[in-house]
Each structure stands twice: as C-alpha cells, then as structure tokens.
Homo-oligomer: A and B are copies of this chain.
C-alpha cells in the first residue's frame, strides 16, 4: 500500500483521536471531520477503520527499528554510553509521538488484531534483544558488576516514561510548575526523566567506569 500525503494527514488526525478517545471511542465520522475529508474517503483510502489503524502502526513502526539499531552498531562508545543513548532516544521518541505511544499502550492491553500484535511484538523483541546485547558487552568488559533482569529494567524505563506522560498534569501541579510554558515544561520533564532513568540503569547494573 502506497502512503500519500493525504493518507499521512488522515492517519495523523486519527492518531490524535485514538489517543484522546480510544479506538472504539473514535468514529469514522470523527476522523473524517478532523481530517476534513468526506466520510467515504476513509474507506476509499484505507478499506476500513481497522485497516486504518493497522496502517498507522505500520507507518509509525517502520522507521523506529532502524533508528534503534544504528546506535548499537556504533563501535566507538562504551556499553553504558550506548544505553544512555538508547534511553534518550526512547524518551525523545515518546515525547515526539505522545499520541501514538498512548494508542500503543491501550492497544497493548486491548487489541486482538493480529497485524497490530505482530508489529508490537516485533518492536518489543528488537528492543529487548538489543539492550540485552549491550548489557552482555558491558559485563564482558567488567564494567557492569551486577546480574540483572533485563526485562524488568526495560519495564521500569518504558513504565516510568509512560506514567510520567499520562500523569503530566499531576506532576506539574505537585511540583508547582503551573506557570511554565507547555514546551518548557516538557523539556524539563524530559531532562529529569533522562537523568532519573540513567541513574536507574547505573545503579541496577552496578556500573563502574
């Protein structure tokens, strides 16, 4: 399937609606209105509502895998530096595409669509095997001193970021940051998350230089 600009535009509007109202809570009419196209165009372009969300997952997940792998194939940096870059990449991607990651989170729980499940499985597995490699490398170089549960560490990373995003407003309020501009606040939160998660990795892996 060829994705034109029109496709991409509709997908972006649909993505926003799915993030705020859920897949089932979003009607094809909502999408058509938001994208300012005729109702029938959704079927015309994508075939069905279900194929539309499949297309969304396809387009969003395509680039991601390559981006992740590029980091690890860089030979000139230490394992811990690689992990730091992976963390920052992850945070950057989630903040850049908050809507999509919210959709992903709900679909992880609810979805039974096999196409979407395949995409998510692929994404997760590439991430975990990659990090596992880097961690093994660090152990071999005797830079990481502790044996760890990679998957739980990954849960902490993704979970911390997602919870922070979902509870953004609570965080803002609790830390008395209401006056800040939205953009500045997001940068602050990203920065704090980055530090927080890197230190998680550090202490859990028993990193020593």
Contacts and interface: CB of A to CB of B under 8 A. Distances in A.
Contacts of A199: 203-204
Given A161-B159, A163-B158, A167-B124, A192 B152 contact: yes
Interface string A157-183: 011111110110011001100000000
Contact of A152 (B21, B121, B196, B204): B196
Contact of A175 (B151, B159, B167, B170): B151
A64 interface: no
A171 to B, nearest CB: 5
Instruction: Give the interface residue-count category, chain A.
Output: 35 or more
Contact of A156 (B25, B105, B149, B200): B200
| Stoichiometry, copies per complex | 2
A106 interface: yes
Contact of A109 (B125, B166, B175, B204): B166
A155 interface: yes
A24 B124 CA distance: 27
A193 interface: yes
Contacts of A196: 149, 152, 156
A19 interface: yes
5 contacts: A21-B24, A108-B167, A151-B167, A155-B167, A156-B200
Interface of A: 19-25, 102, 105-106, 108-110, 121, 124-125, 128, 149, 151-152, 154-156, 158-164, 166-167, 170-171, 174-175, 192-193, 196, 199-200, 203-204
Report, nearest first, the 10 A-B pairs whose CB atoms are least far apart. A159-B159, A24-B24, A203-B203, A155-B163, A159-B163, A24-B25, A156-B160, A159-B160, A152-B196, A155-B160
